[in-house]
Amino acid sequence: MPFAERLLNPHELFGRAAPLVLEIGSGMGETTLAIAKAHPETDFVAIEVHGPGVGSLLNAIQRETLANLRVIRHDALEVLEHMIADDSLAAIHLFFPDPWPKTRHHKRRLVQRQNAALMARKLAPGGVVHAATDWPDYAEQMQQVFAAEPLLEPVARGFTARPATKFAARGARLGHPLRDLYFRRRQKPPAAR
Ligand SMILES: C[S@@+](CC[C@H](N)C(=O)[O-])C[C@H]1O[C@@H](n2cnc3c(N)ncnc32)[C@H](O)[C@@H]1O
């Protein structure tokens, strides 16, 4: 599906009204595919910049004749900004975002204050952002950034379970602790202090 600076209409796109989950950086799409197959009652939009990953997921969608999953090859933050209505998403999935381990590259990490505010704004009240990483200092950064976002509050679980992927397996092999973080859009904005 092409990127456009126009709000996406999920009812039109999927031909029904259903919860909508957006994935940022779907990679080769194994997790995306497994989750979409396990949840036919939910619609999914996966966003990825890497061409071969997008191609592989598109092939899988065709092979499996999946009607509840679409892919956009574009920068996920621009898609969120321009194509997704505020207060609309049941969940945002951010699984193993690029860790940018060198300190001087930390500014390239996706989980930053401004991006967390954008994600929070796009979630429906009660919608959940579910992020996973095997990099302890990134997990710490995610925890701090999401906790500092006034529209979000921590919760114990996500919208769906996250199947293991090669990144999870690699983390386990290297002895990196795996962290899943869940933050929910508050029903009401917190009272001003
Ligand atoms: C380490 S991979 C993880 C892939 C997948 N989530 C998984 O768990 O297997 C991170 C992915 O995020 C993608 N990515 C990074 N920044 C992005 C952005 N701004 N918009 C869309 N995709 C992005 C990269 O191309 C890469 O495929």
CA–CA distance, 62 with 189 (Å, rounded to integer): 41
Q: Please tell me the distance between residue 167's alpha carbon and the centre of ligand 1 in angstroms.
A: 11
Mean pLDDT of the region 71-89: 98
Mean pLDDT of the region 186-190: 80
pLDDT-above-70 percentage for the chain:
98
Residue 166: pLDDT band (50, 70, 90) is confident
Mean pLDDT of the region 59-82: 97
Q: Which of 21, 50, 78, 179 to mutate to test the pocket of ligand 1 (most atoms within 8 A of CB)?
A: 50
- What's residue 158's pLDDT? 85
- What's residue 193's pLDDT? 61
State which H helix or E strand residue 46 sits in: strand 43-48
Annotated catalytic residues are 98
- What's residue 159's pLDDT? 84
Name residues contacting ligand 1 (CB within 6 A).
Answer: 24-27, 31, 47-50, 53, 75-77, 95-98, 110, 165, 167
Q: Kindly report the pTM of this predicted structure.
A: 0.95
Q: What are the structural domains, with CATH classification, of the chain? A: 19-185 (3.40.50.150)
Q: Which of 86, 65, 75, 149 is nearest to 112 (CA)?
A: 149
Residue 157: pLDDT band (50, 70, 90) is confident
- Mapped onto helix, strand or coil, the DSSP state of residue 69 is strand
- Atom 12 in ligand 1: residue holding the nearest Cα: 25
Q: Please tell me the distance between residue 23's alpha carbon and the centre of ligand 1 in angstroms.
A: 9
- What's residue 169's pLDDT? 77
Residue 192: pLDDT band (50, 70, 90) is low
Residue 102: pLDDT band (50, 70, 90) is very high
Q: Which of 31, 19, 23, 124 is nearest to 74 (CA)?
A: 23
Mean pLDDT of the region 121-142: 96
Q: Which of 1, 3, 26, 30 to mutate to test the pocket of ligand 1 (most atoms within 8 A of CB)?
A: 26
